[in-house]
Amino acid sequence: MDKNFGEGANFRNRKMEEHINETLIFMVQYIDDNQFDKLFERCKPLLKKAVRKKRYIKGYDQDDLWQEACECFVEVTKKYDRTRGMCFSQYVSLSLDNHFNRLRRWNNALKRKSNLEALSLDGLVDQAGQHIMGSSKELTPPEAVIVKESMSEYSEVLSKFEQIVSMLYMEGYSYDEISTELNCSREKVMNAKHRCSQKYKNLFMNR
């Protein structure tokens, strides 16, 4: 009897917590986005749990993973649709798992390639050659070596996220497709691509 009573109380508490979260996300999306901080504090344990589950992704420390979780949460608050039959806390947990799994997959993909391959260096040699060598002629083997060394320097100034965006962009992905793959906003992808372009220009066009 006591066990059944305890289970019933726990169920009612969970339903109450879900109801509060649903109310807050509705407020954030449609009425008062100042309620975001309150919603974030309530969901913070879910973010911490997701970060603990993904204990190691090469190139990411705990602060990086926490930042990824926070950015994912912001996107979740924009995309959540209660009519799809999933409560907000479940949607948060699922989105975080998907985000970190996707991040791990791309991280593993980068490990299978050198930075040069990830940035499609061979495909960029002709494009970069005229800026580095001051000519649009076909590069000689020694000039190609110089270009590849310069492109290696380019890869080193890119962040991990910029490397992934560059790789996908060079493979023909659109901004929308990249944002879907990385579970982030289109604006974040465009900003990363813009930073890549600026770094490219700084390295090659100013020489």
Last residue of a domain, one of 96, 111, 126: 111
Alpha-carbon span 134 to 130, nearest angstrom: 5
Number of domains in the chain: 2
My answer on whether 9 and 106 are in the same domain is: yes
My answer on whether 83 and 103 are in the same domain is: yes
My answer on whether 75 and 140 are in the same domain is: no
CB 75 within 8 A of CB 184: yes
pTM equals 0.51
Last residue of a domain, one of 111, 136, 165: 111
pLDDT tens for residues 11-50? 677 788 888 889 999 999 999 989 999 999 999 999 999 9
Last residue of a domain, one of 111, 146, 169: 111
Residue 112 backbone zone (phi > 0: left; psi -120 to 50: alpha; other: beta): alpha
pLDDT tens for residues 105-132? 777 665 554 443 444 444 444 444 444 4
Query: What pLDDT was estimated at residue 132?
Result: 46
The CATH code of the domain that includes 164 is 1.10.10
How crowded is the C-beta side of 95, counted as CA atoms within 13 Å?
Answer: 27
pLDDT tens for residues 49-88? 999 886 677 778 888 889 999 999 999 999 999 888 889 9
Enclosing domain of residue 59: 2-111
My answer on whether 125 and 193 are in the same domain is: yes
My answer on whether 81 and 157 are in the same domain is: no
My answer on whether 91 and 8 are in the same domain is: yes
My answer on whether 6 and 100 are in the same domain is: yes
Query: In three state form, how does the secondary structure of 146-186 look?
Result: HHHHHHHHHHHCCCHHHHHHHHHHHCCCCHHHHHHHHCCCH
Instruction: For residue 144, name the pLDDT band (cuts at 50, 70, 90).
Output: low
Tokens linked to 60: 């990411």
My answer on whether 87 and 132 are in the same domain is: no
My answer on whether 104 and 71 are in the same domain is: yes
